Amino acid sequence: MGFFRIVAFIILVQDRTWAVRIRDLIVPKIFELGTDDHILLDCDFEYEASEKYQLDIKWYFNNEPSPFIQWVPGQMSRPQLIDEKFRGHVNLNHSVHADAFMRHRALLLTNPTLDLSGIYTCKVSTFLDEDIRQKKLTIYAPASSISFQQDRFRSGKEVNISCSVEGIYPLPQIKLTWGPYQLDDSEASVTPHEEEGTFNVVVHRVISHDDLPSETLLGCELSIPGTNYLVREESLYRHRGGRFSNPLSQVGPSSSSSSSSSAPSISSASSTTTCFPVTKEKFMSKMVFLFIAASILRQI
Protein backbone atom coordinates (compact mmCIF):
# COMPACT_ATOMS: atom_id res chain seq x y z
CA MET A 1 0.00 0.00 0.00
CA GLY A 2 2.86 2.34 0.83
CA PHE A 3 4.41 1.78 -2.58
CA PHE A 4 1.26 2.91 -4.39
CA ARG A 5 1.04 6.04 -2.22
CA ILE A 6 4.62 7.00 -3.17
CA VAL A 7 3.88 6.46 -6.88
CA ALA A 8 0.70 8.51 -6.63
CA PHE A 9 2.61 11.30 -4.84
CA ILE A 10 5.31 11.37 -7.54
CA ILE A 11 2.69 11.55 -10.29
CA LEU A 12 0.92 14.38 -8.44
CA VAL A 13 4.16 16.35 -8.02
CA GLN A 14 5.02 15.91 -11.70
CA ASP A 15 1.57 17.06 -12.74
CA ARG A 16 1.80 20.10 -10.47
CA THR A 17 5.29 20.97 -11.74
CA TRP A 18 4.11 21.24 -15.32
CA ALA A 19 0.60 22.58 -14.68
CA VAL A 20 1.63 26.23 -15.00
CA ARG A 21 5.13 27.47 -15.87
CA ILE A 22 6.68 30.73 -16.99
CA ARG A 23 8.79 29.92 -20.01
CA ASP A 24 10.45 33.31 -20.28
CA LEU A 25 10.20 36.80 -18.85
CA ILE A 26 11.34 39.34 -21.43
CA VAL A 27 12.35 42.68 -19.93
CA PRO A 28 14.93 44.99 -21.53
CA LYS A 29 17.92 45.54 -19.25
CA ILE A 30 18.37 49.20 -20.18
CA PHE A 31 16.24 51.86 -21.84
CA GLU A 32 17.39 55.36 -22.77
CA LEU A 33 14.73 57.92 -21.99
CA GLY A 34 13.37 59.62 -25.10
CA THR A 35 14.37 56.92 -27.62
CA ASP A 36 10.85 55.41 -27.79
CA ASP A 37 7.36 56.00 -26.40
CA HIS A 38 6.82 52.50 -25.03
CA ILE A 39 8.55 49.49 -23.40
CA LEU A 40 7.29 45.91 -23.79
CA LEU A 41 7.52 43.44 -20.89
CA ASP A 42 6.39 39.93 -21.89
CA CYS A 43 5.59 37.13 -19.42
CA ASP A 44 5.44 34.04 -21.63
CA PHE A 45 3.86 31.10 -19.78
CA GLU A 46 2.20 27.74 -20.41
CA TYR A 47 -0.66 26.04 -18.58
CA GLU A 48 -2.82 22.91 -18.46
CA ALA A 49 -6.17 23.20 -20.24
CA SER A 50 -7.95 21.87 -17.16
CA GLU A 51 -6.73 24.90 -15.14
CA LYS A 52 -7.28 27.70 -17.63
CA TYR A 53 -10.22 29.15 -15.66
CA GLN A 54 -8.02 29.27 -12.56
CA LEU A 55 -5.27 31.39 -14.14
CA ASP A 56 -4.28 34.53 -12.26
CA ILE A 57 -1.55 36.83 -13.66
CA LYS A 58 -0.09 39.55 -11.43
CA TRP A 59 2.70 42.10 -11.95
CA TYR A 60 4.71 43.55 -9.05
CA PHE A 61 7.08 46.53 -8.97
CA ASN A 62 10.20 46.84 -6.81
CA ASN A 63 9.27 43.98 -4.46
CA GLU A 64 6.08 45.69 -3.31
CA PRO A 65 3.79 43.24 -1.46
CA SER A 66 0.78 44.16 -3.61
CA PRO A 67 0.62 43.90 -7.41
CA PHE A 68 0.20 47.04 -9.50
CA ILE A 69 -1.79 45.19 -12.17
CA GLN A 70 -3.79 41.94 -12.24
CA TRP A 71 -5.51 39.85 -14.90
CA VAL A 72 -7.79 36.86 -14.31
CA PRO A 73 -8.57 35.62 -17.83
CA GLY A 74 -11.57 33.54 -16.75
CA GLN A 75 -13.25 36.58 -15.16
CA MET A 76 -11.82 39.71 -16.84
CA SER A 77 -11.77 40.75 -20.47
CA ARG A 78 -8.66 42.87 -19.80
CA PRO A 79 -6.21 43.54 -16.93
CA GLN A 80 -7.15 45.68 -13.94
CA LEU A 81 -4.87 48.54 -12.85
CA ILE A 82 -4.39 48.61 -9.08
CA ASP A 83 -1.56 51.07 -8.41
CA GLU A 84 -2.31 54.67 -9.47
CA LYS A 85 1.41 55.24 -10.00
CA PHE A 86 1.07 53.40 -13.31
CA ARG A 87 -2.05 55.20 -14.51
CA GLY A 88 -1.31 56.65 -17.93
CA HIS A 89 1.70 54.36 -18.27
CA VAL A 90 0.05 50.99 -19.10
CA ASN A 91 -1.94 50.09 -22.21
CA LEU A 92 -4.62 47.79 -20.77
CA ASN A 93 -5.88 46.82 -24.22
CA HIS A 94 -2.53 45.60 -25.53
CA SER A 95 -2.78 42.05 -26.91
CA VAL A 96 0.07 39.67 -27.84
CA HIS A 97 -1.60 36.27 -28.33
CA ALA A 98 -4.65 34.76 -30.05
CA ASP A 99 -5.30 32.50 -27.04
CA ALA A 100 -7.92 34.25 -24.89
CA PHE A 101 -6.12 33.04 -21.75
CA MET A 102 -2.73 34.45 -22.84
CA ARG A 103 -3.90 37.51 -24.75
CA HIS A 104 -2.84 40.06 -22.12
CA ARG A 105 0.19 38.21 -20.71
CA ALA A 106 2.48 41.11 -21.78
CA LEU A 107 2.72 44.55 -20.27
CA LEU A 108 3.07 47.58 -22.54
CA LEU A 109 4.50 50.54 -20.63
CA THR A 110 3.65 53.80 -22.37
CA ASN A 111 5.17 57.26 -21.94
CA PRO A 112 8.12 55.89 -19.93
CA THR A 113 9.47 58.03 -17.11
CA LEU A 114 12.50 57.68 -14.89
CA ASP A 115 10.46 56.57 -11.86
CA LEU A 116 9.40 53.43 -13.76
CA SER A 117 12.96 52.16 -13.52
CA GLY A 118 13.16 49.16 -11.18
CA ILE A 119 12.49 45.45 -10.67
CA TYR A 120 9.46 43.90 -12.39
CA THR A 121 8.02 40.59 -11.18
CA CYS A 122 5.52 38.41 -13.04
CA LYS A 123 3.53 35.83 -11.07
CA VAL A 124 1.31 33.26 -12.80
CA SER A 125 -0.77 31.05 -10.52
CA THR A 126 -3.67 28.57 -10.36
CA PHE A 127 -5.37 26.91 -7.38
CA LEU A 128 -2.54 24.37 -7.10
CA ASP A 129 0.54 25.95 -8.66
CA GLU A 130 2.41 29.18 -9.25
CA ASP A 131 5.55 30.37 -10.98
CA ILE A 132 7.42 33.63 -10.43
CA ARG A 133 10.10 35.44 -12.41
CA GLN A 134 11.63 38.88 -12.00
CA LYS A 135 14.00 41.11 -13.92
CA LYS A 136 15.43 44.60 -13.56
CA LEU A 137 14.70 47.44 -15.97
CA THR A 138 17.03 50.45 -15.86
CA ILE A 139 15.64 53.60 -17.46
CA TYR A 140 18.36 56.23 -17.71
CA ALA A 141 18.59 59.82 -18.87
CA PRO A 142 21.83 60.88 -20.59
CA ALA A 143 23.37 64.15 -19.49
CA SER A 144 21.72 67.21 -21.02
CA SER A 145 25.04 69.05 -20.79
CA ILE A 146 28.67 68.28 -19.89
CA SER A 147 31.36 70.85 -19.12
CA PHE A 148 35.04 70.07 -18.54
CA GLN A 149 37.29 72.96 -17.48
CA GLN A 150 40.78 73.70 -16.20
CA ASP A 151 40.74 77.03 -14.35
CA ARG A 152 44.09 78.50 -13.34
CA PHE A 153 44.43 80.29 -10.01
CA ARG A 154 45.48 83.93 -10.12
CA SER A 155 48.66 82.97 -8.32
CA GLY A 156 49.62 80.92 -11.38
CA LYS A 157 50.75 78.06 -9.13
CA GLU A 158 47.65 75.84 -9.16
CA VAL A 159 44.83 74.71 -11.44
CA ASN A 160 41.29 73.63 -10.59
CA ILE A 161 40.08 70.74 -12.77
CA SER A 162 36.30 70.37 -12.83
CA CYS A 163 33.69 68.28 -14.61
CA SER A 164 30.05 69.45 -14.48
CA VAL A 165 27.10 67.31 -15.57
CA GLU A 166 23.44 68.34 -15.74
CA GLY A 167 20.16 66.46 -16.16
CA ILE A 168 21.44 62.90 -15.66
CA TYR A 169 19.86 59.79 -14.07
CA PRO A 170 20.73 57.65 -12.20
CA LEU A 171 23.75 59.00 -10.32
CA PRO A 172 26.77 58.58 -12.62
CA GLN A 173 30.39 57.71 -12.03
CA ILE A 174 32.69 60.64 -12.83
CA LYS A 175 36.45 60.24 -12.96
CA LEU A 176 39.01 63.01 -13.35
CA THR A 177 42.05 61.72 -15.20
CA TRP A 178 45.65 62.76 -15.76
CA GLY A 179 47.06 60.87 -18.71
CA PRO A 180 46.40 57.16 -18.03
CA TYR A 181 45.84 57.75 -14.28
CA GLN A 182 42.73 58.52 -12.26
CA LEU A 183 43.06 61.49 -9.91
CA ASP A 184 42.35 60.47 -6.35
CA ASP A 185 40.82 62.65 -3.59
CA SER A 186 38.50 64.56 -5.91
CA GLU A 187 35.53 66.35 -4.32
CA ALA A 188 31.92 66.07 -5.50
CA SER A 189 28.66 67.94 -5.03
CA VAL A 190 25.24 66.59 -6.06
CA THR A 191 22.08 68.63 -6.65
CA PRO A 192 18.85 66.63 -7.17
CA HIS A 193 15.96 67.96 -9.27
CA GLU A 194 12.81 66.43 -7.80
CA GLU A 195 10.44 67.54 -10.57
CA GLU A 196 12.55 66.05 -13.36
CA GLY A 197 13.97 63.23 -11.26
CA THR A 198 17.52 63.98 -12.47
CA PHE A 199 20.78 65.15 -10.91
CA ASN A 200 23.36 67.86 -11.47
CA VAL A 201 26.84 66.75 -10.41
CA VAL A 202 30.13 68.64 -10.13
CA VAL A 203 33.46 66.91 -9.46
CA HIS A 204 36.67 68.93 -9.05
CA ARG A 205 40.28 68.65 -7.91
CA VAL A 206 42.92 71.31 -7.30
CA ILE A 207 46.45 70.43 -8.49
CA SER A 208 49.69 72.29 -7.94
CA HIS A 209 51.77 73.12 -11.02
CA ASP A 210 54.71 71.60 -9.14
CA ASP A 211 53.00 68.24 -9.58
CA LEU A 212 52.44 68.56 -13.32
CA PRO A 213 54.73 68.57 -16.34
CA SER A 214 54.59 71.74 -18.40
CA GLU A 215 52.33 69.99 -20.91
CA THR A 216 49.87 67.23 -19.95
CA LEU A 217 46.55 65.65 -20.95
CA LEU A 218 43.73 66.12 -18.46
CA GLY A 219 40.33 64.49 -18.81
CA CYS A 220 36.87 63.68 -17.48
CA GLU A 221 35.20 60.27 -17.86
CA LEU A 222 31.43 59.98 -17.32
CA SER A 223 29.52 56.69 -17.14
CA ILE A 224 26.22 55.29 -15.82
CA PRO A 225 26.61 51.96 -13.99
CA GLY A 226 24.72 49.07 -15.58
CA THR A 227 24.51 50.75 -19.00
CA ASN A 228 26.79 51.23 -22.00
CA TYR A 229 26.63 55.02 -21.60
CA LEU A 230 30.16 56.47 -21.60
CA VAL A 231 31.39 59.97 -22.40
CA ARG A 232 34.99 61.16 -22.22
CA GLU A 233 36.29 64.72 -22.49
CA GLU A 234 40.01 65.49 -22.75
CA SER A 235 42.14 68.58 -23.33
CA LEU A 236 45.80 69.52 -23.34
CA TYR A 237 46.90 71.71 -20.43
CA ARG A 238 50.07 73.82 -20.50
CA HIS A 239 51.65 75.94 -17.79
CA ARG A 240 54.92 77.79 -17.06
CA GLY A 241 57.55 76.75 -14.59
CA GLY A 242 57.24 74.43 -11.64
CA ARG A 243 59.05 71.21 -10.98
CA PHE A 244 57.58 67.82 -11.82
CA SER A 245 57.81 65.38 -8.89
CA ASN A 246 55.07 62.93 -10.10
CA PRO A 247 53.15 62.44 -6.82
CA LEU A 248 49.86 61.99 -8.69
CA SER A 249 50.61 58.56 -10.06
CA GLN A 250 48.34 56.97 -7.46
CA VAL A 251 45.30 55.26 -8.96
CA GLY A 252 42.13 55.13 -6.88
CA PRO A 253 38.35 55.53 -7.09
CA SER A 254 36.87 58.99 -7.31
CA SER A 255 35.24 60.37 -4.19
CA SER A 256 31.56 59.56 -3.70
CA SER A 257 31.02 62.37 -1.21
CA SER A 258 27.80 64.29 -1.74
CA SER A 259 28.82 67.35 0.29
CA SER A 260 29.84 70.47 -1.57
CA SER A 261 32.88 72.55 -0.70
CA SER A 262 33.72 76.13 -1.57
CA ALA A 263 36.51 76.55 -4.08
CA PRO A 264 39.13 79.30 -3.81
CA SER A 265 39.02 82.32 -6.08
CA ILE A 266 40.14 81.26 -9.54
CA SER A 267 40.47 82.76 -12.97
CA SER A 268 39.02 81.07 -16.06
CA ALA A 269 41.99 81.65 -18.37
CA SER A 270 44.14 78.60 -19.18
CA SER A 271 47.62 79.09 -20.62
CA THR A 272 48.38 77.56 -24.01
CA THR A 273 52.00 78.75 -24.23
CA THR A 274 54.66 76.05 -24.54
CA CYS A 275 57.74 76.93 -22.45
CA PHE A 276 61.03 75.27 -21.50
CA PRO A 277 62.01 76.06 -17.88
CA VAL A 278 65.77 76.54 -17.14
CA THR A 279 67.00 74.23 -14.41
CA LYS A 280 69.27 75.39 -11.56
CA GLU A 281 72.19 73.29 -12.86
CA LYS A 282 72.07 74.90 -16.30
CA PHE A 283 71.89 78.37 -14.75
CA MET A 284 74.98 77.77 -12.55
CA SER A 285 76.95 76.33 -15.49
CA LYS A 286 76.22 79.44 -17.54
CA MET A 287 77.29 81.75 -14.67
CA VAL A 288 80.62 79.87 -14.24
CA PHE A 289 81.26 80.15 -17.98
CA LEU A 290 80.61 83.92 -17.94
CA PHE A 291 82.93 84.38 -14.90
CA ILE A 292 85.83 82.54 -16.61
CA ALA A 293 85.30 84.49 -19.82
CA ALA A 294 85.35 87.80 -17.92
CA SER A 295 88.63 86.84 -16.17
CA ILE A 296 90.33 86.04 -19.46
CA LEU A 297 89.23 89.36 -20.99
CA ARG A 298 90.76 91.27 -18.01
CA GLN A 299 94.14 89.58 -18.55
CA ILE A 300 94.12 90.51 -22.23
pLDDT tens sequence across 173-209 = 999 998 888 888 889 999 999 888 999 999 999 999 9
Residues 128 and 56: beta-carbon distance below 8 Å: no
Positive or negative, the CA dihedral 236, 239, 244, 250 is negative
Cα separation, 264 vs 159, whole angstroms: 11
Residues 114 and 141: beta-carbon distance below 8 Å: yes
Tell me the pLDDT tens digit for each residue of 113-138: 999 999 999 999 999 999 999 999 99
Which regions in the chain score pLDDT beneath 70?
1-18, 241-300
Residues 229 and 165: beta-carbon distance below 8 Å: no
Cα separation, 22 vs 280, whole angstroms: 77
Sequence-distant (6+) residues with CB within 8 A of 101 are: 47, 52, 55, 73, 74
Position 234 scores a pLDDT of 92
Cα separation, 182 vs 175, whole angstroms: 7
Tell me the pLDDT tens digit for each residue of 243-266: 554 444 333 333 333 333 333 222
Half-sphere exposure of 21 (CA within 13 A, CB side): 8
